[in-house]
A and B are shown apart, each in its own frame.
Chain A
Amino acid sequence: MKEQKTTKVPVWDLPDVPKGKLPPHLQLQRTRVLCTFDAPTHTESIQYSGAYAAMGVDNSLRLEEFRNNFRVEVIKLTEDDMEFDMIGIDAALANAFRRILIAELPTMAIEKVLVANNTSVIQDEVLAHRLGLIPLKVDPRLFNYMIENDEPNEKNTIVFKLHARCERGSPRIKVTTNELKWLPNGSELILSTEKPTQDSTSKTKTYTSFNCRQDTLPEFLDNPIVPKHDDILIAKLGPGQYVRNFATPLVNETSTNEASAISFTFPCMIESPHVSSNDTFSFGGFIKLAGAVGSGKNEGLNVMGTSGSVGMEIELEAHAVKGVGKTHAKWSPVATAWYRMLPEVVLLQDIEDGMAEELFKKCPVGVFDIEDIGKGSLIVFDQFIDRQLGRKRATVARPRSCTLCRECIRGDDWDKLLSLRRVKDHFIFTIESTGALPPEILFTEAVQILEEKCERVISELS
């Protein structure tokens, strides 16, 4: 095999890279993610302070430099949403802020539901879960966490009451969050272990022990605690039903024998007459019922509708406490918080005429525009450009809307014509608040939590 002849250049004869500056290709790899055809490359951020020591470049963090370079530009800010650009920060920190926003900022959410009566088709646990997810419009900073063995009091618990009933014969009704009524005086349900006392002077013990009414506290005087939205559907209640209508077609064929125990499934409410009204058992939806039931008769069972009772009813009390999204997503103060790096679309060479048209059509979100260079629309450059009439050239008009779908670099060496990148230290951050606090406050609170974490480590180390 013939050895390939390449002129050998001693390393000390190579042109010098100026000290303190990275050569362009390394600078590109350091500051951009390159989205090539098959995969993104150079995705890591070069964190090590001595990474470029051999080139005389200091990669360490200088606070002064950070202060000079860091910028924030608010793009959109409404009551609940915020979008802003955060420029000059590492992904490690941007991600820390995002993680704290989602999982570690506290809010208030319903945690305990005391069901006095529920004859709706929604099971107690499903109902409780739905209630938990309702965003409450209350500043969590005014409350304390309820720590183990804490008595529920006015500083750690918010009580709501819900009582809705569908009258017999009326159309089906919707129970929405506007029926959740705040009880500033705490729970109204008597603690079941309490013996009813004849002594009228002593306060009967309820499920909470408030020292004062919450609505007399200055924070809530003219700012009552309500759910953020008053039109969230909690449940639908219907007027009761006759069991015969449902049960008959569903009764198991083999067990129509009068005396035998049968098992069948039917959608209706069953209420046992042997329990007091405060802890009524109820079942909803399709239930499996086993027992001796005579055909048509419902011995021992009081089936709603047939007994002339009213329609479905929900009566409950919901206790909200302070928590964080780490424990359960219902405490997360954001619907979501996310960031993306600023896309950058670079045309490596002029793309003209047919190619420009093709490129324009390729992009589904309209990143490119076509510019007429023949008619001299580019005044500054026109003496250098071939002034043939009708010549067109592609330009990158809206790089921010690029989704990096990579459609434009697919096929036929298009990836040699343009390059897709992401700027590593430019984050387009979006916060969608669920309503407890405005998004800009959420963000500063999140940053503060990171500070507190650092403080904790420092004090632990000293």
Chain B
Amino acid sequence: MEHGSFQDESQATFSLTDEDHTLANSLRYTLNQDPRVTFCGYSIPHPSDARVNIRVQTTGVPARDVLKDSCQDLMLVCQHVRSTVDQAVMEFKNKQWVESMNIK
């Protein structure tokens, strides 16, 4: 859900339900690293509500596009993390396997 104005699309607050610090803090990180963002932050209005509000202000591009791009970035980062971990685990297992063969 987006709370913004039609006159100025460059700033908006996005209210995400069923999310918490896990996603909001990661998104704040990727948003902050985007040069088009002038300000961003998030808050959890009440701890017993499963909801976070993410505020995004940009240099002019619509805030929703920037947030979407940030999600995209985060997904790409995650994919890279996943493949790197898989590879590292495989290498480790291979190494272990070779060692267990005990070749002199």
Contacts and interface: CB of A to CB of B under 8 A. Distances in A.
B71 interface: yes
Contact of B88 (A63, A74, A104): A74
A97 B22 CA distance: 8
B49 to A, nearest CB: 14
Contact of B77 (A47, A58, A66, A100): A66
A242 interface: no
Contact of A60 (B1, B34, B88): B34
B48 interface: no
Q: Interface residues of A: mostly helix, strand, loop or mixed?
A: helix
A450 B85 contact: no
B51 to A, nearest CB: 13
B89 to A, nearest CB: 5
A454 B31 CA distance: 13
B50 to A, nearest CB: 9
Q: Interface residues of B: mostly helix, strand, loop or mixed?
A: helix
A124 interface: no
Contacts of B8: none
Given A60-B33, A89-B81, A96 B92 contact: no
B72 A458 contact: yes
A344 interface: no
Contact of B74 (A67, A71, A450): A450
A99 B22 contact: yes
Given A49-B33, A99-B22, A443 B85 contact: yes
Contacts of A61: 30, 33-34, 73
Given A63-B76, A104-B22, A49 B37 contact: yes
Contacts of A454: 23, 71-72, 74-75, 78
Interface string B81-95: 110111111011100
Contacts of B81: 70, 72, 86, 89, 93, 97, 447
Contacts of B93: 77
B23 A70 contact: no
B64 A450 contact: no
Interface in B19-78: 19-23, 25-30, 32-35, 37, 64, 67-68, 71-78
B80 interface: yes
A455 B81 CA distance: 17
A61 B2 CA distance: 25
Interface string A6-20: 000000000000000
A462 B72 CA distance: 13
A288 interface: no
Contacts of B27: 457
A455 B37 CA distance: 21
Contacts of A104: 22
B68 A451 contact: no
A59 interface: yes
Interface residues of B, number: 45
Contacts of A259: none
A440 B84 contact: no
Interface in A165-191: none
Contacts of B26: 92-93, 96, 450
Interface in A278-299: none
Given A96-B23, A457-B23, A47 B80 contact: no
A66 B81 CA distance: 10
A461 interface: yes
Contacts of A246: none
A95 interface: yes
Contacts of A99: 20-22
A234 to B, nearest CB: 34
A413 B4 CA distance: 55
Given A72-B84, A440-B89, A450-B22, A47 B75 contact: no
Nearest to B29: A92
A416 B5 CA distance: 55
A84 B32 contact: no
Contacts of B20: 99
Contacts of A92: 25-26, 28-29
Interface string A208-251: 00000000000000000000000000000000000000000000
A257 interface: no
12 contacts: A49-B34, A66-B80, A74-B88, A99-B22, A440-B89, A448-B78, A450-B78, A454-B75, A457-B14, A457-B23, A458-B72, A461-B71
Interface of A: 47-50, 58-61, 63, 66-67, 70-74, 77, 84, 86, 89-90, 92-93, 95-97, 99-100, 103-104, 440, 443-444, 447-448, 450-451, 453-455, 457-458, 460-462
Given A447-B82, A454-B71, A455-B71, 17 more contacts: A47-B28, A49-B37, A50-B35, A59-B33, A61-B34, A72-B81, A86-B81, A90-B29, A440-B89, A447-B78, A448-B78, A448-B82, A450-B22, A450-B74, A454-B75, A458-B72, A462-B68
